[in-house]
Amino acid sequence: MRGLFALKGLSTWHAAALCGAVGAAVFASSLHGVPVYDDIEVIVKNPDMAADAPLSALWRHDFWGAPLTAARSHKSYRPLTSLSFKLDLALAGQRGGGGGGGGGSGGEAATPPSPHALVVLHATNIALHALASALVALLGAALLRPSMRANAEARAAALTAAAAAAATGVGGAEAETEGGSSGGGGYDDAAAATVGLLAGLLFAVHPVHVEAVAGLVGRADELATCAVLCSCLLFLRGASSSSSSSSSGGGGGFRYRWLCASLLCAAAAMLCKETGAVAPAIVGALDVLLLCDADLTLGTAVALLTGGLQQPPPAADDADAKGRQPIAGAGAGAAAAPALRRGLLLRLLLLAAGAAACLCGRLWVMGGVGNRPTFRDFENPAAHVTTAPLTRWLSIAHYNVLSALLLVAPAVPTAGTALCVDWSYGAVRLVTSLKDRRNGGTLLLLALLAALCRGTGVLLPSAAHGASKEADDQDDDGEAEEEEEEEEQAAKKKKKKKNDDANAPVAAVVTTLAAGEVVVAAQLEAQEDRLWWRALGVCLFGTLLSVLPGANVLFTVGFTVAERVLYVRSLATDYSSAFLFF
């Protein structure tokens, strides 16, 4: 690990438990909160929350208790979240019924939850945030651990091979033991757990999560985020199972039962909140970028369809075109990539089929594509600007810039990102001119996204490819000089070897180990650089996907900026900050 530090002896489960405990402690003060804003409509006035309301109504009505086919429905289909509210009320012994605000059975006076029921509702929200924080830590470690462990094993294997080659006949067994013990997997496991701990702690204490955790309706975002994280973890489990099988002499194929479990979690995420629909796409990006070590571009799609992506790299024990022998084990970090690439197309097709089935089911429940929700002007002013397209799109772009600022600089009034209880009613002024200074933030955000896409291989070819090509060209230019120097050095070493005493083999072992360590370290450092960018690419692509449902680009939504929808988006900033220590 090239990071700044690692907590030796830290296990992933200990990191997850600590993050969960911190997440619960930070929001413990919200335990005795009262219903506010949307909480009243979703729980207090919702007729589906009545004790005598049938559970089947949760699957036919929207989040607010109105029939999905009704014109006034917002089409927010979140039956699992509504079910969790109903279970909490039943657990607390709530005997009242919802009022007519939702429109399901209408006409009855609202019965507010008892103080005990409110404590149960808030306690569940806090517990879900603790669970989400723990899952963030688990996924952060899982994203890095396989490659880090492979790199440590590669270092040990390379040094063992170098020692064995140098210690022919003298101290071979001792040299092998020395080489095999360097590298070690424990430290790298602790390093991965440290990265997960940092990401989980940042997620647990992020100020922008106040609305999602303290507000009862934010449970939809908590549940969806937990389901998305579980979907990614289960998919990685399928890949790690295949790697374990391969290393033990098995077939090494991807375990598709874990992919099925991942899809079930993705479906559950969509039933908790609409943003959960991005889970299969995030898992697919994780597969392409991290497991198969390929760019997420159109070129990769073409190569995948034509079979070019499935070609294995040159064998690790063969000399390259320049006659140089590679270090044994130096490519172990990507050893599983060829095997995983062979099944990539099938996995992506299964993910796409699962996502399509979920989306079609949701459209069928809400009454078809044409049955879209309608919102009032004050809820989203920019989306209702029809006479000035420039104002509409500049304002919508600024909404997304403001959301990004809330993730990196929350609660900073001087930056215009102070947390706000309600961003509707014109809380954000429309951008009506290209001369508006706020357009500078839009340009900076676009430039940053372009740079990140270039570095991570998301939508644009990875910059690492160009860097590798330039390095090869420079190496070719100096090859002649290096060969002359190598010949001269070899002649000197050969002459000196004749005059060495009986301890010469031991000195050769030490010299070879030192040289092997330098070469292997350089090779693995480059591989870790690529891993860092790939992991960052997964975060970037996941963020872009999670923005789409509420960006007012594909369709109009009922808000300008909503802090609770940033719950899942904050994963990108938390992981990116933690990866800086890798």
Q: Which pLDDT value is given to residue 36?
A: 86
145 pLDDT above the threshold of 80: no
Percent of the chain whose predicted confidence (pLDDT) is above 90: 22
Taking the C-alpha atoms of residue 418 and residue 426, their distance in angstroms, rounded to an integer, is 16
| Average pLDDT of the residues of the chain | 75
Q: Which pLDDT value is given to residue 201?
A: 96
239 pLDDT above the threshold of 90: no
The segment with the largest mean pLDDT, out of 138-147, 427-436, 459-468, 551-560, is: 427-436
Q: Which pLDDT value is given to residue 557?
A: 74
100 pLDDT above the threshold of 60: no
Q: Which pLDDT value is given to residue 224?
A: 95
| Same domain as 100, residue 41 | yes
Taking the C-alpha atoms of residue 531 and residue 289, their distance in angstroms, rounded to an integer, is 9
Pick the last residue of a domain from 82, 112, 142. 112
Give per-residue pLDDT as tens, 196-229. 999 999 999 999 999 999 999 999 999 999 999 9
Encode 302-340: b = buried (16+ Cβ within 10 Å), e = exposed: ebbeeeebbeeeeeeeeeeeeeeebbbbbbbbbbbbbbb
The segment with the largest mean pLDDT, out of 180-194, 266-280, 356-370, 396-410, is: 266-280
| Same domain as 339, residue 459 | yes
Pick the last residue of a domain from 112, 143, 160. 112
Does residue 72 sit within a domain?
A: yes
Does residue 47 sit within a domain?
A: yes
Check residues 472 and 299 and name the one with the higher pLDDT: 299
The contacts of residue 472 (CB under 8 Å, 6+ apart) are none
CA 32 to chain centre: 33
| Same domain as 155, residue 86 | no
Residues 10 and 193: beta-carbon distance below 8 Å: yes
Q: Which pLDDT value is given to residue 19?
A: 96
| Same domain as 284, residue 150 | yes
Give per-residue pLDDT as tens, 519-564. 555 555 666 667 777 788 888 888 888 777 766 676 677 677 788 8
Q: Which pLDDT value is given to residue 322?
A: 42
Tokens of 140: 């952060």
Residues 74 and 558: beta-carbon distance below 8 Å: yes
Tokens of 355: 């996502």
Does residue 559 sit within a domain?
A: yes
Q: Which pLDDT value is given to residue 204?
A: 95
Which residue type does 93 have? G
The segment with the largest mean pLDDT, out of 260-274, 417-431, 524-538, 557-571, is: 260-274
Q: What is the 3-state secondary structure (H, E, C) of 15-83?
A: HHHHHHHHHHHHCHHHHHCCCCCHHHHHHHCCHHHCCCCCCHHHHHECCCCCECCCCCCCCCCCHHHHH
Encode 480-515: b = buried (16+ Cβ within 10 Å), e = exposed: eeeeeeeeeeeeeeeeeeeeeeeeebeebbeebbee
106 pLDDT above the threshold of 60: no
Reported in sequence order, the residue ranges of 385-492 that DSSP labels E, i.e. its strands, are: none
Model pTM score:
0.80
- How many domains, the chain? 2
Q: What is the mean pLDDT of residues 307-335?
A: 45
**Residue 46 belongs to domain spanning:** 36-112
Check residues 516 and 374 and name the one with the higher pLDDT: 374
Q: Lowest-pLDDT range, 152-161, 414-423, 569-578?
A: 152-161
46 pLDDT above the threshold of 80: yes
Taking the C-alpha atoms of residue 485 and residue 482, their distance in angstroms, rounded to an integer, is 5
Q: Which pLDDT value is given to residue 452?
A: 83
| Same domain as 86, residue 186 | no
Taking the C-alpha atoms of residue 285 and residue 364, their distance in angstroms, rounded to an integer, is 27
| Same domain as 130, residue 92 | no
Q: Which pLDDT value is given to residue 392?
A: 83
Q: Which of 268, 358, 211 is nearest to 78 (CA)?
A: 268
Residues 570 and 226: beta-carbon distance below 8 Å: no
328 pLDDT above the threshold of 90: no
Which H or E run includes 86?
helix 79-91
Check residues 576 and 421 and name the one with the higher pLDDT: 576
109 pLDDT above the threshold of 90: no
Does residue 95 sit within a domain?
A: yes
Q: What is the mean pLDDT of residues 296-305?
A: 80
Does residue 531 sit within a domain?
A: yes
| Same domain as 198, residue 108 | no
Q: What is the mean pLDDT of residues 286-295?
A: 84
251 pLDDT above the threshold of 60: no
Q: What is the mean pLDDT of residues 4-26?
A: 88
Q: What is the mean pLDDT of residues 336-351?
A: 80
**pLDDT band at residue 511 using 50, 70 and 90 as cut-offs:** low
| Same domain as 223, residue 190 | yes
Q: What is the mean pLDDT of residues 322-335?
A: 40
Give per-residue pLDDT as tens, 55-74. 888 998 888 888 887 777 77
Q: Which pLDDT value is given to residue 313?
A: 45
363 exposed, middle or buried (CB, 10 Å; 0-12, 13-18, 19+)? middle
Q: What is the mean pLDDT of residues 487-494?
A: 67
Q: Which of 336, 293, 331, 317 is nearest to 520 (CA)?
A: 331
| Same domain as 92, residue 131 | no
Residues 567 and 218: beta-carbon distance below 8 Å: yes
| Same domain as 65, residue 136 | no
434 pLDDT above the threshold of 60: yes
Q: Which pLDDT value is given to residue 526?
A: 63
| Same domain as 158, residue 281 | yes
Check residues 559 and 334 and name the one with the higher pLDDT: 559
Taking the C-alpha atoms of residue 338 and residue 537, their distance in angstroms, rounded to an integer, is 20
Check residues 471 and 117 and name the one with the higher pLDDT: 117
Pick the last residue of a domain from 66, 89, 112. 112
Does residue 379 sit within a domain?
A: no
Check residues 314 and 553 and name the one with the higher pLDDT: 553
Check residues 17 and 249 and name the one with the higher pLDDT: 17
> What is the radius of gyration, based on Cα positions, of the chain?
28
Q: Which pLDDT value is given to residue 130?
A: 97
**pLDDT band at residue 87 using 50, 70 and 90 as cut-offs:** very high
Q: Which pLDDT value is given to residue 564?
A: 86
Does residue 354 sit within a domain?
A: yes
310 pLDDT above the threshold of 80: no
Q: Which pLDDT value is given to residue 272?
A: 94
Residue whose token pair is 């609409």: 274
| Same domain as 222, residue 150 | yes
Check residues 125 and 549 and name the one with the higher pLDDT: 125
Does residue 387 sit within a domain?
A: no
Q: What is the mean pLDDT of residues 491-499?
A: 61
